[in-house]
Copies of this chain bind each other. A is one copy, B any other.
Amino acid sequence: MKKSNSPTMKDVAREAGVALGTVSKVINGIPVGESYRLHVEAAIEKLGYCVNSYARGLKTNRTNCVALLMPSLYHPFFATLTDELTACLMRHGYRSMLMITNYDPEAEKKCLILGHENKVDGVIALTYSPDLKPDDSTAMVTIDRHCGDSIPCVSSDNYRGGEIAAEKLAELGCRRLLFMAVASDIPGEVDKRGGGFEAACRRLHIAYEQIILHDRDTEAPFYDFLLRHIREGVPDFDGIFCNTDRLACRMRDFLLRQGIRIPEDIQLIGYDGITDYATGRYTCSTIVQPIAQIAETAVSLLLDTTGLAVPTNICLPVHYAPGGTTRE
């Protein structure tokens, strides 16, 4: 599949009639006699020389490569996040090694080892392990889940997002709220959405209930719950906050099938800010995560080597956006 005989520095040196070290200096931008530089550059051009980053990496122990651990790219949130992360890394001169973990802690561990073998300069992980830890010598930043105090975690301001959802529903006239959530076994930043919602409800003196399910379970309990709370076509609730857009969309579909009007009878707010790929519109009214900003923050944190104490948790601001499931 390869045969490889790219020119090496030695070839360039010979072609330019200079010593090896001189070529290295030119390539690394270290000052060198003007005429030497020109010769070397000409030789590089002529031979089509291109550095071998494996040789360089072996020597310097830096590879300009970052491992990206993602559960899947089927979910638009992960996909766009990966897009932004990769673009951002490239802007900083880094390449990204993508690893799909399939929500599997075992696979995540394997990927970390793979990354270590590959001497990646750092790891950015959206993980489903409670305790993923890289080799000590490798920098790591997580997204949406804390993995220990030495590892910064960046996320959207989930708590505030929950508050905003409650505030918005209240402002739009809702008086009886419901919080629906799918949660994974292991705790993460995402769990704070409910906390913010509750706090705001209490502060606003609005009645609320909540129902939380495990993400590996079926949604049947949600449906049962909703059905029990619809009497003669009139629902007990006039506003629902779902902890993901996905859930909000699914509940909207279900309620519509039950003859409930959205947003007339029930208003619905999700979380994530997922847009429809065809129209670019939000798939439901939602709390929008600042994906590009999350990516940039994660990259800066990872690459920032100033050693200044970094906060262990960075929350980025979210905002509400109407998407057809609220009366606005």
Copies of this protein in the assembly total 2
Evaluate contact between B119 and A54: CB separation under 8 angstroms.
yes
Cβ contacts under 8 Å, A75 to chain B: 277
Q: Which of B114, B279, B303 contacts A1 (CB 8 A)?
A: B303
Say which residue of B54, B58, B98, B138 sits within 8 Å of A96 (CB atoms): B98
CB neighbours of A53 from chain B (8 A): 117-119
> A-B pairs with the 8 shortest C-beta distances?
A79-B79, A73-B83, A249-B278, A54-B57, A98-B98, A73-B79, A246-B278, A54-B58
Range for the number of chain A residues in contact with chain B: 35 or more
Asked if A199 CB lies within 8 Å of chain B CBs, one says: no
> Contact flags (1/0) for A72-109 with B, using CB distance below 8 Å?
11111001101100110010000111111010000000
Q: Is A202 an interface residue (CB 8 A)?
A: no
Residue A4 lies at the interface, judged by CB distance under 8 Å to chain B? yes
Least CB distance from A327 to B in Å reads: 21
B99 near A86 with CB under 8 A, answer: yes
Using an 8 Å CB-CB cutoff, how does the interface string of A298-310 with B read, 1 for contact, 0 for none?
Answer: 0000110100000
**A86 and B100 form a contact (CB under 8 A):** yes
Which B residues are in CB contact (< 8 Å) with A28? none
- Cβ contact within 8 Å between A117 and B52: yes
Q: Confirm or deny: A228 has a beta carbon within 8 angstroms of a beta carbon on chain B.
A: no
B138 near A2 with CB under 8 A, answer yes
> Is A63 on the interface with B (CB-CB < 8 A)?
yes
**A76 to B277 alpha-carbon distance, docked (Å):** 7
> In the complex, given contacts A2-B121, A50-B117, A249-B276, what are 19 additional A-B residue pairs having Cβ atoms less than 8 angstroms apart?
A1-B139, A2-B62, A2-B138, A5-B137, A6-B135, A50-B113, A51-B117, A52-B119, A54-B58, A54-B118, A58-B58, A73-B80, A74-B277, A75-B277, A79-B82, A95-B99, A96-B97, A96-B98, A97-B97
